[in-house]
Amino acid sequence: MSKSTRLQGKVALITGGAKGLGAATAAELLARGASVAIVDIEEPAATSGADSSRREPWFVKGDVTDVADMAAAVDAVVEKFGGLDIVIANAGVAARGATVRATSPQAVTRLFDINVHGVLNTVQAALPQVIERRGNVVVISSVFAYLNGAGTVPYAMSKAAVEQFGRGLRVELASSGVGVHTAYFSMIDTDMIRMSVDEDPVAQALLAALPGVLNKRITADVAARAIADGIEKGSPRVMRPRRWAPVSALRGVLAIALDAKLAGDENTQKLIRDLDARSGQDRLST
């Protein structure tokens, strides 16, 4: 059963809210009447840090990879606002394109620490409050949860893990009256995408192998509105652009065909060989 929520008067915590999608989501929730706390390792330039006005978010410094940090952040938000209704586990990183052979174990560990363990740490810290107030949990997956991730396999794996987390959590919390929403976005025009894709001709060429209709990029504001709408409408799945919905629905069939096409396409294989040469060139983008 879906659970709709009016945002007016609610208290939300958003990780990775200093910039990009997190900052846009904070602004959207504030505009709809929520109080918002953002948790990040860096303070956003536009915030005063301690202003209780609902027209800007309240900032809490914290690292999602640190369990104690997230517990302290939730405690601080509860003390500030009197409770917590919505947790949005948004913090995440992408990696510069490379094959599995060319990717260092250290880079993979750091990516999973943020993209997977960070989501788990955030939600687990917030769950007692969210359950008590019959609130909402939002996790940010990606179309790469079901799209072939060649050239960025660890990132795709991390987003598939987040998808499974959101789906399982929805079932586990159904009897608690908690709404769980999994967001799937493709390319959002943020610093992270600009660094990991726009500055990398090989990554751009790999994406160009997809059907053109699937390469539409959206703004952070569009994604933020989709998240807010999903909470208010009680949507278990939030997907933008919407054209990805049939791809997700037909993934069992389309994935087989796409995998075979990519494995047999000489141009794609040439790009993979280029990515194989990137050993020692790890770079994460936030």
Instruction: Confirm if 162 and 141 have CB atoms less than 8 A apart.
Output: yes
> Among all residues, which ones are annotated catalytic?
155
Q: In terms of DSSP bridges, do strands 94-95 and 35-40 run parallel, antiparallel, or are they unpaired?
A: unpaired
- The 35-40 sheet, strands edge to edge: 58-61, 35-40, 11-15, 86-89, 136-140, 179-185, 237-240
Nearest C-alpha neighbor of 139 from the set 164, 171, 157, 156:
164
Q: In terms of DSSP bridges, do strands 284-285 and 94-95 run parallel, antiparallel, or are they unpaired?
A: antiparallel
- Which neighbouring-strand residues pair with 238? 183
Note the helical H segments in 173-265.
191-193, 201-207, 220-233, 245-249, 251-264
The first and second tokens of residue 125, run together, are 């810290």
Q: How many CA atoms lie within 13 Å of 183's alpha carbon, on the beta-carbon side?
A: 27
For 233-255, b where at least 16 C-beta lie within 10 A, e where not — what string?
eebebbbbbeebeebbeeeeeee
Residue with tokens 């609610």, as numbered in its chain = 10
